[in-house]
């Protein structure tokens, strides 16, 4: 019997699945490097220990798998019943024994991978609803999970860095930052321009803004990602040479 593979012919989607799986491996490696007695230490996320973070990443895989199941069956299965349920789930998960947390993270990731692998090709375009209420094609679940595993590997605070991310992920994250900031922007909010010094591209929220001078932030692509996702301000400066203020809210 031949090996079962993804039902995907779109090269961009196939590349996205590969990038996500590389991120899953990166997350798993960072998690495996944590000793059991280090799970109670703070993560990079305010108010969350590493226990909370591991529980969140595990339960997120289950939540994303529910969206893929929705796309496959046509039966609505939301990511979470409510924000309250999501929060309570994470708090409960943080109380689990370390072995149980490790198993949650590993088994939930395998289940999600199987859901993707078995999704019929035509179902990748079926609409599902994110936890924020947006309708997106099932293919968007790959990017949703990609962000989780790569970025939260850094949030474990045990040596992971945005500088470990592949260059194509830096590009995708810079594009995503601008897209989300543009969607959330309110009248009067300052425009933001990201100027990587190690590539020719420029990223801007509003190319037509003329009323207010934009906030121009410069640095290597990896450092701009670190600033944009709110994890670091190292290596970035404004056009005037000063440290930039906190980035607009992303996710």
Per-residue pLDDT of the chain (251 residues; tens, 9 = 90+): 445 689 999 999 999 999 999 999 999 999 999 999 999 999 999 999 999 999 999 999 999 999 999 999 999 999 988 889 899 999 999 999 999 999 999 999 999 999 999 999 999 999 999 988 889 999 999 999 999 999 999 999 999 999 999 999 999 999 999 999 999 988 888 899 999 999 999 999 986 766 678 999 999 999 999 999 999 999 999 999 999 999 999 98
Tell me the torsion sign for CA atoms 22, 25, 31, 35: negative
* CA 228 to the chain's CA centroid: 13
Residue at token pair 């010094």: 197
- Token readout for 201 is 């591209």
Residue at token pair 């909010």: 189
- Token readout for 87 is 């929060």
pLDDT at 187: 82
pTM of the model: 0.93
Contacts of 250 (CB under 8 A, 6+ apart): 177, 180, 181, 228, 229, 230
pLDDT at 3: 54
* Residue 76 to residue 87: CA distance in whole angstroms: 21
pLDDT at 70: 97
pLDDT at 210: 65
Work out the burial of residue 58: count CB atoms within 10 Å of its CB; fewer than 13 is exposed, 13-18 middle, 19 or more buried: buried
């Amino acid at each position: 019997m031949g090996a079962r593979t993804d039902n995907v012919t779109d090269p961009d989607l196939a590349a996205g699945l590969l990038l996500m799986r590389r991120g899953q491996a990166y997350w798993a490696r960072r998690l495996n490097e944590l000793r059991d007695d280090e799970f109670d230490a703070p993560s990079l996320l305010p108010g969350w220990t590493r226990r909370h973070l591991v529980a969140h990443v595990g339960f997120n895989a289950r939540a994303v798998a529910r969206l893929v199941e929705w796309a496959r069956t046509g039966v609505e299965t939301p990511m979470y019943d409510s924000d309250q349920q999501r929060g309570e789930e994470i708090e409960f998960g943080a109380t689990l024994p370390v072995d149980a947390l490790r198993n949650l993270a590993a088994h939930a990731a395998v289940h999600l991978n199987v859901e993707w692998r078995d999704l019929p090709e035509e179902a990748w375009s079926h609409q599902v609803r994110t936890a924020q209420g947006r309708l997106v094609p099932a293919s968007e679940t790959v990017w949703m999970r990609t962000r989780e595993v790569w970025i939260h590997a850094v949030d474990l605070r045990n040596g992971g860095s945005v500088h470990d991310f592949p260059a194509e992920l830096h590009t995708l994250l810079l594009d995503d930052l601008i897209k989300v900031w543009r969607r959330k922007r309110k009248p009067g909010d300052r425009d933001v321009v990201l100027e990587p010094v190690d590539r020719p591209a420029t990223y801007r929220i509003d190319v037509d803004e003329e009323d207010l001078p934009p906030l121009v932030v410069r640095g290597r692509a990896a450092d701009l990602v670190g600033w944009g996702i709110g994890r670091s301000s190292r290596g970035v400066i404004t056009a005037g040479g000063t440290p930039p203020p906190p980035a607009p809210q992303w996710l």
